[in-house]
Amino acid sequence: MGESLTGQEPSTPEEQTISPEHEEKQTTKKYDALIVFGFGARPRTKEESAVDPDRMEDKGWHLTTGTKARVLAAGELWEMGEIDKIVLSEGGTPDKEKSGGELMREYLMSKYPDIPEDRIVVEDKSSNTIENFAGTVDYLDGLEEERKLQRKPSLRYAFLSNTFHMARIQSLAGKFGVEGDGFTAEDVLELAAQQREEKTGIPTTHKYDIWRNRMSSPEGNDVWRDENEVIRREYIHVINSLISQAQRGTIEAEESYLIQLLSKTWNAERRKILDEDLKKMGVDLDALSRRIEDRITQLGKTSYRDYLRQENRWQGGLDYVPEYWLYQAARVRPERFRKMLQDPKNADAIMLLNMLGYHDVQEMNDDEFENMRSTISSPQFIKDHRQIPPGEWDSESPIYN
C-alpha cells in the first residue's frame, strides 16, 4: 500500500472458535492463513459522486482497483479450497468512518457470500506496509501460541498482493522471520478465469489478459491512462450498446451500419463526424461528455511507472536504511522482535540500536529488552526518529541521491 496513509486506531481482531462444520475443511486446506495486503482507499471526488448519487459505492471512501483485485483473488483462492482463513490487512486515515480493512471485508463478503464470517480477520491498525506486516505477524504469533498449547502443527502462511508489490512483501517476510508462499492477484485471477472457461466453455481469459496488461505492465497502463484511449473506450461502449439494441430489435438501425461506426472512434477529427451520426440516433452527447470527464478524473495522477519507482524507493529503504523500518517493526511481540535482532540479515538494526545507546541488546534481560522495544516503537519516537528514503534511488550504488 502507499506510504502516505495515516493510521487509525481500531479494535484488535480476536480469533474465532472453529465451528464443527468447518473443522474438516481446515484439515484439508493447504494454507492456514492468507494475508492480503491492501492498496489503499480513497474518497469519492465531487465529480464522481455527482455521476450517480444514489449508488452506495459513490458515498464516502471506496477501495482502489488494486485493492479490489487483491480481495477478489483472495475470494478465488478460498473457492479453490486453498486457504482456511483470510487476514485482510489495511489501515486508513482518521477521517474515515471505516478502515480500509473493513471496506475490504465488506467487498469480499459481497462478492463471495459463502465465505463464513469467522474465517475473515481484519487487521486495520496499520498506516503503511511495515505496520501491516507487524500487526499481522503479531496476530498470527498469538494463534501460534494457541496451537502450541493444543499441540497442533505450526501455521502455514501465504501472502497476496499485486505483482509490483511482492518483492517488498518477500523482503519484509525475511526481516520478520516469517516463511510463506506468495500469490499475485494477477496470477490468481487469470487461473480462476482459465478454470471457469474450462468448466463452462465460455471464453473469459481474454478479459483478464486485458486487465493484466492494464494493471501489470507500464506500457499497458500508459495506454489505458491515455486520454484519447479513455474517450475512445467510452464511444465504443455507446456504439456496442446500440448494436445490442439493434440485435434485440429495440431500435431501427442496421447492425452492419453500427459496426462501421467503430472506425470513427480513433481520433478527435473522426469523432466529430461520429457525433453527428450518434446525435441522429438520439444519443445524449452531453451525458457522454460528462461521463468521459468523469473517467479521466478517475485516472488520478499516479501511473504504474510511478508505483514501480516508489517500490524501488521503499525497497532501498528496507535494504539500507534501518531507521526506515526498524521502529515500526518493533511493534511485534518481544519474543518475535528478539529473534529478528538475532538474525544476521538484520545486523544493521543492531548497529542502529548501538548508535541510539542500546548496547549489547542480545544480553538484555526481559525487562530491559521490553523497555527498549516499547520506547523505540512508541508513536513519538517514530515521529522523531523514523527516516523516509529519498525519492530517487541510484541502483548502481547503495547511496541515496
SS3 192: helix
How do residues 106-134 score in pLDDT, each as one tens digit? Answer: 999 999 999 999 999 998 877 788 998 99
CB 128 within 8 A of CB 78: no
CA 175 to chain centre: 21
**How wide is the angle at C-alpha 68 spanned by C-alphas 66 and 74, nearest 5°?**
110
pLDDT for 42: 66
pLDDT tens by residue, the chain, 401 residues: 333 222 222 222 233 333 334 343 444 679 999 999 988 776 555 444 444 444 444 445 678 888 899 999 999 999 999 999 999 988 765 556 678 888 899 999 999 999 999 999 998 877 788 998 999 999 999 989 988 888 888 889 999 999 999 999 999 999 999 999 999 999 999 999 999 999 999 888 887 888 888 888 888 888 888 999 999 999 999 999 999 999 988 888 888 999 999 999 999 999 999 999 999 999 999 999 999 998 888 777 788 888 898 999 999 999 999 999 999 999 999 999 999 999 999 999 999 999 999 999 999 999 999 999 999 999 999 999 999 998 754 444 333 33
Question: Cα separation of 204 and 213, whole Å?
Answer: 15
How do residues 265-300 score in pLDDT, each as one tens digit? Answer: 999 999 999 999 999 999 999 999 999 998 888 777
User: Smallest Cα–Cα separation from 108: which of 178, 165, 53, 34?
Assistant: 34
Show me where the domains of the chain are located: 20-216, 225-298, 322-401
Plot region of 81 (φ>0 → left; ψ -120 to 50 → alpha; else → beta): left
Query: In this structure, what C-alpha cell is assigned to residue 99?
Result: 478502515
Q: Give the per-residue SS3 of 113-165.
A: CCCCHHHEEEECCCCCHHHHHHHHHHHHHHHHHHHHHCCCCCCCEEEEECHHH
pLDDT for 153: 87
How do residues 143-196 score in pLDDT, each as one tens digit? Answer: 899 888 888 888 899 999 999 999 999 999 999 999 999 999 999 999 999 999
Question: For residue 393, what are the contacts with CB-CB under 8 A and spacing of at least 6?
Answer: 312, 313, 316, 400, 401
User: Smallest Cα–Cα separation from 369: which of 325, 335, 328?
Assistant: 335
Q: If 0-12 CB within 10 Å is exposed, 13-18 middle and 19+ buried, where does residue 23 land?
A: exposed
Question: Cα separation of 187 and 195, whole Å?
Answer: 12
Question: Cα separation of 357 and 201, whole Å?
Answer: 66
Query: In this structure, what C-alpha cell is assigned to residue 330?
Result: 518493533
pLDDT for 150: 87
Fold of 20-216: Rossmann fold (3.40.50)
